[in-house]
Structure 1
Amino acid sequence: MDTQQNTALTRALAEIPGPLPARGVIHIAIPHTDRFTVVGNHLAQHPDLSCTAVGIAVRIQSLPQGIEVGIKALAARCREGEKRVAAALRELEAFGYLQRVRDRLPSGRVITRTVFCNQPTALLRPRPTAIPRQPAATATPQAPAPAPAPAPAPAPAPAEAPTPATAPAEEPTATPAPAPAPAPAPSPSPSPSPDVPAPPPPAVVSPPAPLFVPLVPPPTAPKPPPAPLPQPDKLTPELDRAATALLSDLRRHTPEFTLSESDIRQLAPGVAAWLERAAHPDAIRRALTTDLPHPLRRPALLLKHRLTALLPPPLPGLRDLATPAPPRITITPFQTCDACDRAFRSPAPGHCRDCREHRARRSDDTRTAAA
Structure 2
Amino acid sequence: MQIHRIRHARGFTVLPNALLQDRRLSYTARGLLADLLSRPDGWREDGRHMADTSPQGRLAVAKALRELTAFGYYRVERVRRPDGTFVSETHVYDIPQVGPGAVRPGSGRSTAGSRDAHPVKDRGKEPTLPAQRTASPDPGGQRDVASPPPSPALTEAAAVLHQVTAAEPRLRLGAAEALTLAPLAAPWLERGLGPRDLSFALLGGLPERVHSATAFLRDRLTRKLPPEPVAVPPPPRRYECPGCARPTPHEGTCRTCAGADAPPPDAVDERARTAARGRALARAALNGHRPGQLTGARA
TM-score interval for Structure 1 and Structure 2 normalised by the shorter chain: 0.3 to 0.5
TM-score, length basis structure 1:
0.27
TM-score, length basis structure 2:
0.33
State which structure, 1 or 2, has the greater radius of gyration over its C-alpha atoms: 1
